Amino acid sequence: MFARGQPEPIAHIKHPQWTATLYDLLTAYSMQRQKTALSHVRMAKRTVWSLAEARASLERLVGMADAEHWSCLDEFLMGYVVDPSQRATVFASSFAAALELVREGDMELNQKQAFAPLYFRKRLPQAAGAAAPDLSAE
């Protein structure tokens, strides 16, 4: 309580010097973040198994394979996968090389159902008379 005639204290009113919205603060933060974030990006170099390497290894395998028995392609390729990150490139390159060897007539591929393992074997040599059937008699 103040007695009559005594002055009451004046409340100090603070006036901010800056005004900023939440959008302004986030924009300023993102601009500062972009300056430092983009300067530290480093891309890891991926090792890729080339088609030439895959073809050479498949040709060696087909040359050693028995023409009568089917062999699983996945089991053969697992010997070339050293790092799990290389699995996709080894399988993709080998599949493309295998299709090329099938097209050229050097090997045969077999798969029982979708997403089942691929089996391969050396293409059986055909006799000279059996290579081209005679269609003129019909």
Domain ranges for the chain: 51-123
Q: Is 5 left (phi over 0), alpha (psi -120 to 50) or beta?
A: left
Q: Which residues contact 76 (CB under 8 A, 6 or more apart)?
A: 61
Query: How big is the CA angle at 69 (ends 68 and 71), to the nearest 5 degrees?
Result: 145
> What tens-digit pLDDT sequence spans the chain (138 residues)?
656 777 777 788 888 787 889 999 999 999 988 887 766 667 888 888 899 999 998 888 887 767 778 888 888 888 777 788 888 888 899 999 999 999 999 899 999 999 899 999 888 777 444 444 333 333
Task: Say which amino acid occupies 35.
Answer: K
- What topology does CATH give the domain 51-123? Arc Repressor Mutant, subunit A (1.10.10)
Identify which of 119, 122, 47 has the alpha carbon closest to the alpha carbon of residue 90: 47
